[in-house]
Chain A
Amino acid sequence: MRLLFREALLSFRRAPVLSGLSITTIAFSLFTIGLFGLVAINLQRALEGLEERVEIVAFIMRGTPAESIAQASQDIAAFPEVQDVGYVSEEQALARARRELVEFRDAYRDLQVNPLPPSLELRLRPGFRDAAHVGAVAERLRGFSFIEDVRYGREWIQRLDHLRNLTGVLGLVIGLVFATVAMVIIGVTIRLTLLQRAREIHIMRLVGATNWFIRGPFLLEGALKGILGGLLAVALCYGGFLVFRRSAESFNGLLFFEPWQAAVIIGFGMLMGLGGSLLSVGRHLRRMGGRADRRAS
């Protein structure tokens, strides 16, 4: 085990430029992914704020008995998508209108009959605040005989949906592209090390080293570089975050990664390092081990 570590660390000293390069590329790719993640986190939170306001209003036919309304409210509150249901009476609706629509205050004051119908206002649980769920709930509400009309901000909700999907897809695509690039670069740097050390590896095999014994230091080297790259990426992200947050008053509330999210980034770096080295070492050993073997027969 100690030998393993010594061999792995030795490569840093033997090829400092190459090692630095691979750490930097891992760091850079994770930094990019990380920045995107930060945008996604903050966008998600902003969206959650907007989603809070997603609500459905169901207008109730005048003259519906209070018991029916109360019963219906209970049924609706039991929908799995529904967070809460509020009843707004005709009087409350009028009072609200007078309060909020100042321009029409006089008009409303002189009214003999109340033109505003009573309504049920409902909000959906988080996770159900997308166009499909809102539409489905609205459809079910229309099924109640005393509900005249159902309103919700259809377009607005759909736009929210698009934005969210776009961030998700974009994040995934960019993340995958950069992860692939980083893995390839790690693979290439490890392959260069392997070529530098081909003679040594050949001799190791001749004196009876197992494949895992040969692989071990390279895998450890890859993992270490990945972890270092991940740490560097988190540090860079934090730097970028601080600069960005200072740039404008309104960014004061910006979020940074939770510790577990930072750990995921670093762990991801480790996996990339391991993956890159595993791929290139595996291929190298197979080629060295059986150039003539496999093809001749």
Chain B
Amino acid sequence: MIRLSHVHKTFPNGAVALRDVSFHVARGEFVFLTGHSGAGKSTLLKLLYAEQRPSSGEVRVSGHVVSALKGDQIARLRRRLGIIFQDFRLLEDRTAAENVAFALEVTGARKDAIAARASRVLAQVGLASKSRAYPRELSGGEQQRVAMARALVNDPAILLADEPTGNLDERATRGVFQLLRDINAGGTVVVMATHDLDLVRQTEYRTIEMREGAVVYDSADEAPAPGPQ
């Protein structure tokens, strides 16, 4: 589903964010991307959803060479990805349901289909009762769940999460994490960047650790049992 081959990323100001990163994520996997702040986690995810291009090397997502996509091809790729962030990135002037529906509207989906689908994913993340609430009326955990509903509404094959629990207290973190596991159990690939090592240790999921832009540890390398390489 995801394959990076010798990916380097250097920013115009000379900052080196990624050094020779190569790995493969198979269908159905849940992968933690760990490392200190500045290790290159966000940059790596940005390459996956075509917000940035690699300086060299190749990034493939669902068979597409991401750096070769342009314009509307990028838009179409993103419709098959779900993306969530530490800061939720909801539209403040829209209700929870409208925020979710928004992701469907941009794809040109039909209006009646949009409403039905939006309320279904809101129910899936446990927010059916808050569909008319505005982001400021919701707790952090609830806002993140709205963002997850928005990410899920297009039925993505891959969910990319950049420190999704970074702003949440422990209870909300557990709730959001459980949701991510449920989503993965449904067959969606999940790549989650985090520096919450407690969370990582709780589970047996594959872990890729980065330091100064390089992959320094990949649990799939030493215990090749669960990952079909």
Question: Residues of A with Cβ closer than 8 Å to B?
Answer: 3, 199-200, 202-213, 292-293, 295-297
Contact = CB atoms under 8 A, between A and B. Distances in A.
Contacts of B89: 199, 202-203, 206
Question: Is chain A's binding surface mostly helix, strand, loop or mixed?
Answer: helix
A296 B11 CA distance: 6
Contacts of B9: 296
21 contacts: A200-B91, A203-B91, A204-B102, A205-B78, A206-B51, A207-B79, A207-B102, A207-B106, A207-B154, A208-B78, A209-B106, A210-B75, A211-B71, A211-B75, A213-B108, A292-B11, A293-B52, A295-B12, A296-B53, A297-B53, A297-B55
A213 B106 contact: yes
Contacts of A204: 102, 106
Interface of B: 9-12, 49, 51-53, 55-56, 71-72, 75-79, 83, 89, 91, 102-103, 105-108, 150, 154
Given A296-B53, A296-B55, A297-B55, A206 B78 contact: yes
A253 to B, nearest CB: 56
Contacts of A199: 89, 91
Nearest to A3: B105
Contacts of B71: 210-211
Contact of A207 (B11, B52, B72, B103): B103
B75 A205 contact: yes
A196 to B, nearest CB: 11
Given A3-B105, A296-B9, A208 B76 contact: yes
Contacts of B11: 292, 296
Contacts of B105: 3
Contacts of B56: 297
Nearest to B81: A208
Nearest to A212: B72
A208 B53 contact: no
Given A205-B78, A206-B89, A208-B78, 17 more contacts: A204-B102, A206-B51, A207-B78, A207-B79, A207-B103, A207-B106, A208-B75, A208-B76, A208-B77, A208-B154, A209-B75, A210-B71, A210-B106, A292-B11, A292-B52, A296-B10, A296-B52
Nearest to A285: B71
A207 B109 CA distance: 13
B72 A211 contact: yes
A200 B107 CA distance: 16
Contacts of B77: 208
B84 to A, nearest CB: 10
A201 to B, nearest CB: 11
Contact of B12 (A200, A210, A296): A296
A293 B53 CA distance: 5
Identify which of A199, A213, A292, A297 gathers the most chain B CB atoms within 10 Å of its CB.
Answer: A292
A8 B141 CA distance: 33
Nearest to A295: B12
Contacts of A212: 72
Nearest to A290: B53
A208 B52 contact: no
A231 B46 CA distance: 47
Of A3, A203, A208, chain B has the most CB atoms within 10 Å of the CB of: A208
Contacts of A206: 49, 51, 78, 83, 89
Nearest to B89: A203
A199 B72 CA distance: 20
Contacts of B49: 206
A211 B76 CA distance: 11
B106 A292 contact: no
A292 B53 CA distance: 8
A253 B78 CA distance: 65
Closest 3 CB pairs of A and B: A208-B79, A209-B106, A208-B78
A42 to B, nearest CB: 50
Contacts of B10: 296
Contacts of B76: 208
Nearest to B46: A292
Contacts of A297: 53, 55-56
Contacts of B78: 205-208
A242 to B, nearest CB: 44
Contacts of A205: 75, 78
A30 B56 CA distance: 52
Nearest to A213: B106
Contacts of B91: 199-200, 203
A161 to B, nearest CB: 53
B150 A207 contact: yes
Contacts of B51: 206
